[in-house]
């Protein structure tokens, strides 16, 4: 009986799609992996966000296409109180949720949806807080929201007020992040009533540009354009994610036009792709940084001159050539050049082994031996840490510093490298979450982060005062000035060797139009068209 009903369903679907498929405009994206699930607040991976939050959902505010600036999303306007602790959002009227074969909404977006989307993460008593086992709401907690949010109130159907415990300038940028995606409370209520809550993580439903159709694990995700999308229906009719985890195979699929666009090509394939007449290759500096953090609490690395000397001994260009085949730029600041407040006036420490050697001698350091920690995994900001470490080792050898390259399993590496008494300089990196400089400068170098994200264990009062102050002001111009000064302090003190900002490369068929690269690393398909 069950087989018969499935067969009938199959026939019905075949008829429905068989006729539609002929005329539909379909964009196939060779994605790099499977989403972990479809509730973006539960996860931290970009692959998951591309498949869930960026396709299916919207947020109160959004990142402008191709930038880290904030623009209105589901909130058409907002007001911030004088003291910076109250944010009142006016919601866009008549925003329709998607109608799918698993849910038909009866009402438009309202304040209840917004409150539900945050309450489920905020309150342990909320029925949705543990709707799947071990729901950790990683970003909500990671961005400090439990301590930050005092209350979220419904003023009227289309007005929501967030009250904070303290002023927090990056708050708006945080609300454009994936965990702040707005879900349908009506859909959630229905799932709860049916005792089928975990479906929220498997069949997403939001207000976004594309609506979810089906997911075959590890193979294909299908979406179609949301016909009633508040910003207008998308130019393409169907969006398909063909999950292809190997970069060489993705490249072959793109060349065969089995997909029209792909992320993360092999560095070695980029040159031939650029020469191919059928392809367009877009490039943009990523919102990331790779660094090597000295342990500034351990002698002799507690001396600025020693850290500076080591920085001057290392040839970053050679690392970029060997590891990225040129697809990266040398880093001089801890934040990438695409980020506002980037201080371009700062001069990088030059590559000068002779001067470095002299500087070490003057600092009274001889026979220095050190460890270089190399990550065991490839990350977007550092494709091959082992290779980079070996080049550094050779460079250091030239100024008489003996070094040993060490590595651990990834989980262990992350854990051990946090230790305050850690021996050696740690290679690591960061990819921006919300486009705010605070997300780099305070998160990675603030005094509070010592023993945690601050792998240099560097607590500098002057730097910390600047970034803390910048967090409390809402005027971006003033904040930028403080961050520029903070970068000067950073360069003077050199707690890190800043290595590179990698370039993000997106090859695509020439038929793909209006694809905009995103500095935050998202792959968004709203606005994308296909030439006939």
Partner 1 sequence: MLRFFLSRVLVLIPTFIGVSIVAFAFIRLLPGDPVALMAGERVMDPERHAQIMAQLGYDRPLIVQYLDYLFGLFTGDFGTSIVTKRGVAGEFFTLFPATLELSFCAIVIAVAIGVPAGVFAAVKRGSWFDQITMGAALVGYSMPIFWWGLLLIILFSGTLGWTPVSGRISLLYYFPQVTGFMLIDSLLSGQEGAFTSALSHLILPSVVLATIPLAVIARQTRSAMLEVLGEDYVRTARAKGLSRFRVVGVHALRNAMIPVITTIGLQVGVLMAGAILTETIFSWPGIGKWMVDSVFRRDYPVVQGGLLLIALVIMIVNLVVDVLYGVINPRVRAR
The yes or no reply on residue 80 touching partner 1 (CB under 8 A) is no
Choose among 71, 40, 75: nearest CA to 57. Answer: 40
Q: How far apart are CA 421 and CA 410, in angstroms?
A: 19
Check if the beta carbon of residue 349 is closer than 8 Å to that of residue 309: no
Residue 442 tokens read as 């305070």
Number of chain residues interacting with partner 1 (CB under 8 A): 65
Rule CB under 8 A: say whether 171 interacts with partner 1: no
- C-alpha distances in Å from residue 31, one per residue of 125, 230, 387, 475: 37, 26, 27, 38
Locate 258 and state its tokens.
Answer: 């089995």
* Rg of the chain taking only CA atoms, in angstroms: 25
Is residue 271 near partner 1 by the rule CB under 8 A? no
Does 222 contact partner 1 by CB under 8 A?
yes
Binder among 165, 245, 402, 514 for partner 1 (CB under 8 A): 245
Which one of 147, 189, 412, 472 is in contact with partner 1 (CB under 8 A)? 412
Q: Single out the residue of 246, 404, 472, 478 in contact with partner 1 (rule: CB under 8 A).
A: 246
- 191 sits near partner 1 (criterion: CB under 8 A): no
User: Would you give the binding string for partner 1 spanning residues 128-147, x where CB under 8 A is met?
Assistant: --x-xxx-x-x--xx-----
Strands 238-242 and 220-225: antiparallel
Nearest to 309 by CA among 386, 395, 421: 395
Nearer to partner 1, 109 or 143 (CB): 143
Residue labelled with tokens 């009402």 = 107
Task: Decide: is 255 part of the binding site for partner 1 (CB under 8 A).
Answer: yes
How many CB atoms lie under 10 A from the CB of residue 507? Answer: 25
* Parallel/antiparallel/unpaired status of strands 238-242 and 26-29: parallel
Please choose, from the candidates 521, 473, 523, the residue with its C-alpha nearest in 3D space to the C-alpha of residue 501. 521
Rule CB under 8 A: say whether 198 interacts with partner 1: yes
Minimum distance from residue 27 beta carbon to partner 1 (Å) = 11
In the list 54, 59, 226, 253, the residue contacting partner 1 (rule: CB under 8 A) is 253
User: Measured from the CB of residue 397, what is the shortest distance to partner 1 in angstroms?
Assistant: 29
CB of 214 to partner 1, least distance (A): 8
Least Å distance, CB 112 to partner 1, is 25
407 lines the binding site for partner 1 (CB under 8 A): no
For partner 1, the binding residue among 60, 312, 392, 449 (CB under 8 A) is 449
Among residues 34 and 295, whose Cβ is nearest to partner 1? 34
Least separation in angstroms between residue 148's CB and partner 1 is 15
410 binds partner 1 (CB under 8 A): yes
Read off the tokens for 20: 């539609």
Contact 483, 470 (CB under 8 A): yes
The nearer residue to partner 1, 149 or 359, going by C-beta atoms, is 149
**224 DSSP β-pair partners:** 211, 238
Q: Does 376 bind partner 1 (CB under 8 A)?
A: no
Q: Is 299 in the site for partner 1 (CB under 8 A)?
A: no
* Euclidean distance between CA atoms 189 and 212, whole angstroms: 19
The two structure tokens encoding residue 238: 């169907």
Q: Cα–Cα distance between 476 and 446 in angstroms, integer?
A: 20
Only one residue has tokens 């030439």, namely: 531
* Binders in 28-47 for partner 1, by CB under 8 A: 28, 34, 36-37, 42-44
Tokens 């371009």 sit at which residue?
A: 344
Interface positions with partner 1 (CB under 8 A): 3, 6-7, 9-11, 13-14, 17-18, 21, 26, 28, 34, 36-37, 42-44, 130, 132-134, 136, 138, 141-142, 198, 201-202, 214, 216-220, 222, 240, 242-246, 248-249, 252-253, 255-256, 258, 408-412, 414-415, 418, 428-431, 449, 452-453
């Amino acid at each position: 009986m069950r087989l018969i009903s499935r067969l009938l369903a199959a026939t019905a679907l075949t008829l429905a799609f068989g006729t539609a498929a002929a005329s539909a405009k379909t964009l196939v994206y060779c994605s790099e992996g499977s989403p972990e699930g479809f509730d973006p607040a539960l996860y931290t991976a970009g692959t998951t966000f591309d498949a869930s939050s960026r396709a299916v959902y919207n947020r109160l505010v959004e990142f402008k296409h191709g930038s880290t600036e904030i623009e209105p999303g589901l909130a058409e306007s907002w007001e911030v109180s004088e003291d910076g602790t109250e944010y009142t959002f006016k919601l866009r009227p008549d925003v329709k949720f998607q109608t799918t074969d698993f849910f038909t909404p009866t009402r438009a977006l309202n304040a209840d949806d917004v409150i539900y989307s945050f309450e489920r993460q905020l309150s342990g008593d909320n029925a949705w807080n543990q709707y799947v086992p071990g729901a950790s709401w990683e970003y909500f907690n990671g961005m400090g929201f439990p301590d930050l949010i005092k209350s979220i109130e419904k003023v009227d159907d289309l007005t929501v007020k967030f009250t904070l415990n303290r002023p927090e300038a990056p708050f708006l940028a945080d609300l454009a992040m994936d965990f702040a995606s707005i879900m349908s409370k009506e859909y959630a209520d229905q799932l709860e009533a049916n005792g089928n809550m975990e479906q929220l993580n498997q069949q997403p439903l939001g207000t976004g540009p594309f609506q979810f159709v089906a997911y075959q694990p590890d193979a294909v995700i299908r979406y179609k354009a949301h016909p009633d999308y508040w910003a207008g229906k998308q130019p393409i009719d169907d969006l398909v994610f063909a999950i292809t985890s190997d970069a060489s195979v993705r490249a072959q699929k793109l060349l065969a036009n089995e997909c029209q666009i792909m992320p993360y090509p092999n560095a070695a394939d980029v040159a031939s792709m650029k020469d191919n007449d059928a392809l367009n290759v877009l490039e943009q500096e990523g919102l990331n940084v790779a660094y090597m953090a000295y342990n500034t609490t351990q002698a002799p690395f507690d001396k600025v001159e020693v850290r500076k000397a080591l920085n001057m001994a290392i040839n970053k260009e050679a690392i970029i050539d060997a590891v990225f085949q040129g697809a990266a730029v040398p880093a001089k600041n801890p934040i990438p050049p695409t980020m506002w407040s980037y201080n371009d006036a700062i001069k990088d420490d030059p590559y000068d082994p002779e001067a470095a050697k002299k500087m070490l001698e003057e600092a009274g350091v001889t026979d220095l031996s050190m460890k270089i920690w190399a990550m065991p995994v490839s990350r977007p900001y550092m494709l091959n840490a082992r290779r980079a470490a070996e080049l550094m080792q050779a460079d250091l050898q030239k100024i008489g510093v003996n070094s040993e390259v060490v590595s651990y399993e990834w989980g262990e590496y992350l854990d051990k490298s946090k230790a305050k008494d850690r021996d050696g300089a740690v290679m690591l990196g960061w990819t921006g979450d919300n486009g705010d400089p605070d997300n780099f400068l305070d998160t990675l170098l603030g005094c509070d982060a010592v023993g945690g994200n601050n792998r240099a264990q560097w607590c500098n009062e002057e730097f910390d005062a600047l970034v803390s102050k910048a967090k409390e002001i809402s005027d971006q111009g003033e904040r930028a000035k403080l961050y520029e000064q903070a970068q000067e302090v950073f360069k003077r003190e050199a707690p890190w060797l800043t290595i590179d900002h990698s370039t993000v490369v997106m090859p695509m068929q020439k038929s793909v139009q209006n694809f905009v690269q995103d500095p935050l690393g998202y792959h968004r398909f709203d606005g994308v068209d296909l030439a006939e």
